[in-house]
Amino acid sequence: MMKKRLIISLCALASIVAGCAKVDSEPSGENAWILDESLPVPIQFGGAGQIAQTKAAITSLASLEPVYMLGIDVKTTKVSSWSANSANVLLNGETGYFGESAISDGVNAGKWRYVFGTSSAPTKKYYPLEPTFNYNFYGYYIGDQTNSITYSGKTAKVNLDMGFTDVLWAEAKVDTPYTVPAQDSESNACEHAGKTTDGFNARYARWTKEAGVYDQMLPSLQLGHITTRLHVIAKAKNADAYNSFFVNSSPILEINEIRIVGVPTKADLTLADAITDDTSKKGLFTQTENGTISVLTADLPKDATHAKTIPTVDGIELCKTGCEGFYLVPGDLEGAKIEVDFTVNDGSPKQTFTIEDLVESFDPDEDTFQAGKEYTIYVIFNEIMEIEIVAALTPWAAGQNGTPDNSWDPDNQSYE
């Protein structure tokens, strides 16, 4: 809604105060395209603020690479179905990143601009000379997973492995059709006054440039996290409990594996579609495989002294070494559970501790994980054979990263 209000206010301001701004001198060099319609128009983006809802592994646009870009006219009726070679597909998952430094001045000062290519080899992309289509842009980050877009009808998707990738997505579109402001008595620079376009293209860029509102009207991507983040923290209740895990300074307790059972392990992320907004699935996941996400002994974080995974007073995250939680598909996860394998004394049979009805641990009335929220399960070892579970639910906090708060309230939804 913010972009819609901005566009309305800028149109009103341009028409009431300035009319149609003059191009003071004949553009040359890189800006010659403004008045010369035989020249290609570069695809440029406005500044983006830092990532929304950032209590997750990724907090800064500066280190985010690659960020892929899909540019497509979702409204056109001139194309019956989409493909990589469709006339209305401008950018088919092109590689890009956010500039090495924030924009220094103008309306986008302090923000980051999306650039095509890589940080070591930036490139430019251009709109078609003929403004046949009105494009929307869809930016997305999928870590090091394969960026293979598939098209079905008028839907664009990418299939992802779930569990260990913080997935980000954003859309840039013209919410309100842009109308070139009317001319006033002092300006006759805009021959297009009163004309309208409802998407980004070469014509839109030229018209906003001539009207003096180009920087404000550029497409802008505000990336946000679209997964659910789950932490599982193993803790010793206190120092006495921790000391009970050792005999003659040798550990007799070790955690061997963690499994998140009954959750989507693969899912399609819908990047864009051409159905109406009220039923659109863009920016959402559709499960394609259900199963178990696991971390085995070799990949769990280890105690530096004993090279084993041992619950500590401060807490140890049961995930791959160096990771900051599991990233899951939001939605209906009724029946999902966590299983933690551990052994007591070397060579003893493994024992499994199970947390049933995972989502209900946070709220007995819920069976749905929500996007933009962070769920933390504390597996608290009071003694070797006495385990307590505490569940905590918090929104991702803007502008923060950090690990979960490892304090707990024994009366906060505690189960034995």
Domain check: are 110 and 181 in the same one?
yes
Mean per-residue pLDDT of the chain: 79
Indicate whether 391 belongs to any domain. yes
Q: How many CB atoms lie within 10 A of CB 384?
A: 15
- Residues 370, 228 contacting (CB under 8 angstroms): yes
Domain check: are 260 and 210 in the same one?
no
CATH number at residue 383: 2.60.40
Environment class of residue 75 by beta-carbon count within 10 Å: exposed (0-12), middle (13-18) or buried (19+)? middle
pLDDT band at 12 (very low <50, low <70, confident <90, very high): very low
C-alpha 227: how far from its chain's center? 8
Indicate whether 274 belongs to any domain. no
The tens digit of pLDDT for each residue in 351-376 reads 898 888 777 777 666 667 878 778 88
The tens digit of pLDDT for each residue in 166-186 reads 899 999 988 777 777 766 544
Q: Which domain holds residue 399?
A: 228-267+290-415
Q: What is the mean predicted confidence (pLDDT) over 274-283?
A: 65
Domain check: are 257 and 376 in the same one?
yes
Domain check: are 219 and 89 in the same one?
yes
Domain check: are 191 and 315 in the same one?
no
Indicate whether 16 belongs to any domain. yes
Of 241, 237, 189, the C-alpha closest to 378 is 237
Domain check: are 249 and 201 in the same one?
no
Q: Which of 190, 224, 258 is the last residue of a domain?
A: 224
Domain check: are 72 and 208 in the same one?
yes
d(CA 283, CA 123): 26
Q: How many domains does the chain have?
A: 2
In this predicted model, which residue has the larger pLDDT, 182 or 42? Answer: 42
Domain check: are 219 and 242 in the same one?
no
C-alpha 100: how far from its chain's center? 20
d(CA 300, CA 276): 45
For tokens 């599991």, the residue is: 326
Domain check: are 234 and 206 in the same one?
no
The tens digit of pLDDT for each residue in 204-224 reads 998 888 888 888 888 988 888
The tens digit of pLDDT for each residue in 47-59 reads 776 554 444 456 6
pLDDT, residue 3, reads 30
Indicate whether 276 belongs to any domain. no
Q: Which of 224, 246, 281 is the last residue of a domain?
A: 224
Indicate whether 279 belongs to any domain. no
Q: What is the mean predicted confidence (pLDDT) over 16-27?
A: 49
Domain check: are 106 and 216 in the same one?
yes
Environment class of residue 23 by beta-carbon count within 10 Å: exposed (0-12), middle (13-18) or buried (19+)? middle
State how beta strands 253-273 and 285-295 pair. Answer: antiparallel
Domain check: are 168 and 259 in the same one?
no
Indicate whether 97 belongs to any domain. yes
Indicate whether 102 belongs to any domain. yes
Indicate whether 169 belongs to any domain. yes
Domain check: are 161 and 213 in the same one?
yes
